[in-house]
């Protein structure tokens, strides 16, 4: 009896591991795609080449018939579109989180390049259903961008303050857009995907460097 259960358990475990691996890889690919897009945009802006024929048109599709600032305005004034507002709220929560993450990511990338180029309010945000043109007030964009810049050199105590700042800003935005229920917990996800993700990456690099130094020191002592 027990011998018959072993193959079944192994098959079940394999299926579960494959599903988990698929979810993790999907998230990593989506994040890498977004970071690469932000890097390209930053290089184009940093090049100083003015757009031909005026400002370039904003990229990204619509969400429930709205795009860009129109999404923000509709959510901030829910009484104007009561029939679709719940659908818009539930779908925009993911887009909003990705938009904020992208601004923090851009600040971290620019800090590494020793330059500053605050993103525009509008940005194409990738998702499972394609890109959506999202919009944030420039005051929020600038503050999230500064968080990204400061996070690369922050101490543990300063990093905790930056996390609290992000959580406070996210709560403020959710209250303005009447999305506190739909956006519950996204502040924590944003800091986990940006500030904590970068700290972990830097920690791995530091540990790898320390191991190399210890190995070199050991070789010298043997010599």
The pLDDT confidence band at residue 6, using thresholds 50, 70 and 90, is confident
Integer Cα distance of 158 and 144 in angstroms: 15
Confidence check: pLDDT of 35 > 70: no
206/179: higher pLDDT: 179
Every domain of the chain and the residues it spans: 59-215
Mean pLDDT of 120-149: 92
Cite the DSSP H helix spans in the chain. Answer: 2-46, 69-76, 85-112, 138-151, 156-176, 186-193, 195-222
What is the pLDDT, as a whole number, of residue 9?
79
Integer Cα distance of 95 and 82 in angstroms: 20
Query: CB of 77 within 8 A of CB of 49?
Result: no
Percent of the chain scored above 90 by pLDDT? Answer: 52
DSSP state of 77: S
Within 10 A of 98 (CB to CB), how many other CB atoms are there?
21
Residue with tokens 């940006």: 194
**Does the reported pTM lie above 0.85?**
no
What is the pLDDT, as a whole number, of residue 47?
40
Integer Cα distance of 141 and 25 in angstroms: 29
What is the pLDDT, as a whole number, of residue 60?
65
Relative orientation angle of helices 186-193 and 85-112, to the nearest 10 degrees? 20
């Amino acid at each position: 009896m027990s011998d018959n259960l072993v193959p079944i358990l192994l098959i079940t475990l394999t299926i579960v591991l494959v599903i988990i691996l698929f979810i993790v890889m999907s998230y990593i690919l989506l994040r890498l795609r977004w970071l690469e897009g932000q890097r390209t945009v930053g290089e184009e802006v940093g090049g100083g080449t003015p757009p031909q024929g005026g400002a370039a048109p904003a990229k990204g599709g619509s969400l429930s018939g709205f795009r860009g600032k129109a999404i923000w305005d509709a959510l901030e004034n829910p009484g104007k579109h009561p029939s679709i507002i719940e659908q818009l709220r539930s779908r925009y929560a993911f887009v909003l989180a990705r938009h904020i993450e992208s601004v923090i990511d851009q600040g971290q990338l620019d800090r590494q390049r020793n330059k500053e180029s605050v993103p525009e309010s509008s940005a194409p945000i990738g998702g499972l259903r394609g890109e959506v043109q999202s919009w944030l007030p420039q005051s929020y964009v600038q503050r999230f961008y500064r968080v990204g810049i400061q996070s690369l050199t922050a101490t543990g105590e300063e990093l905790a303050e930056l996390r609290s700042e992000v959580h406070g800003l996210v709560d403020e935005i959710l209250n303005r857009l009447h999305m506190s229920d739909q956006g519950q917990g996204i502040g924590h996800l944003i800091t986990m995907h940006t500030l904590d993700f970068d700290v972990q990456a830097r920690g791995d690099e530091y540990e790898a460097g320390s191991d190399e130094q210890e190995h070199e020191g050991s070789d010298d002592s043997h010599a």
